Structure 1
Amino acid sequence: MEVYKLTIKAGKTLSERKWKAAFSPEGYLDIGKTLSRIHRGGIHPSIRGEVWEFLLGCYDPRSTIEERDEIRERRREQYAKWKEVCQNLFPLVGSGRFITAPVITEDGQPIHDPLVLLETHPDNGVIVPTPETANAKPSCTGERVTDKRIIQWMLTLHQIGLDVLRTDRTLVFYEKKENLAKLWDILAVYAWIDTDVGYCQGMSDLCSPMIMLLSDEADAFWCFERLMRRLVNSIIKFVLDNV
């Protein structure tokens, strides 16, 4: 297997000025010139988010400014709808808090007294499940959940929370509870819509750079979704090529 070494050269960084100059008046991107610049010197921090939206395939370089604005708005609306569905299923989604202990059993029974509790402080954005939050489900009645898809999703929520706490824990960015909650929300929504992949350990590390680079949660979600799509396709191709 041939390994390519990326050599970053001083003064060759893709700057904000060079990035803007790579677009035509209509908004078409000269992706070849851009990739060459990135290969030689990397990307300036101020534009990394929007550059990665193109690199991950969120936008076609041949699209216009107007087309991208329409796509962005449509995707933000779609994410909001998915998140609302998740909020109805489990109200802590979008609340600025998250869980780190299970709230449901594998057969759909609510857990009123979780055995594994994380000691919390009011300012750290994490909650210990209580009878009220442990019962959160579509009917909000505390009754047993019978929908297998909902059970599977709810079983992943505390696993996501545990990984969120371990993700890039030394970064100042995650000293803010809203950033931890944003990471949890994105992963929770993704686990709901992608029933094939759901959630597995390590996905929080892949998602983390997205929310640091993009201020809008929906935009970060779609970058993460495109990254996961590429990874899944690569795995499928690898398996098929080696059957």
Structure 2
Amino acid sequence: MEKEIDGKLMNIPSHVAIILDGNGRWAKKRFMPRNYGHVQGSKNVEKMCEVAWNLGIKYLTVYAFSTENWKRPPKEVSMLMKLLRDYLVDCIERTTKNNMRVRILGDKTGLSDDIREAIERLEKVSAKNTGLNFSIALNYGSRDEMVRAMRHMAGDVAEGKLKSWEITEQVFSRYLDTWDIPDPDLMIRTSGEQRLSNFLLWQLAYTEFYFTDVLWPDFGRDELIAAIEQYNLRERRFGGV
């Protein structure tokens, strides 16, 4: 979709995925505890949902908590889970107000009962909303996602619901957490790191990557527009000439 942004006509990516990185370093630079950075990063997620929608982005997916993040200090993990609980409760009201649909990607069985219940309630309440499609990758790892998908698919083959020769890329995609979401057009990672960290490995096969040194709590509208400007300089051939 083309849209004029600040006087420039740009091709707006339909789906943007972001690895939210740098909350702890942002706090450290201000001589504050890491948890303070996570709180500010959470607030920035709320702001950027509105920014993305206003720019014409239809799908926004953020990497909030990976399957590997459980290795962090217990105190930090506990704080992140508390922050998540508060966010999920607040998000129910926010999604209704902003007409935003929310999905949670990842292995929900690894989360506590109250968090799973809050997720189920949030996804149900927002299911028919027609604004921004916002996905949160939570207890998510792409390899774990693909293993879960293959187990599900193997079960269907064993039960005769699916023939092995019917398996294609399209069929496999339907078993992934993102089965009803288009692949990202643009992937952004903040804080200067230049790796995928087990994020959407299948879905990012032909996605354009953009890395920035800006820490996530400082990432705003101008930084997102800069990423979109770089996206507009890319020639997407999807393996063709």
TM-score by length of structure 1 reads 0.25
- Bigger relative contact order, structure 1 or 2, given CA contacts below 8 A and separation 6+? 2
More helix by share: 1
Structure with higher Rg: it is: 1
TM-score by length of structure 2 reads 0.25
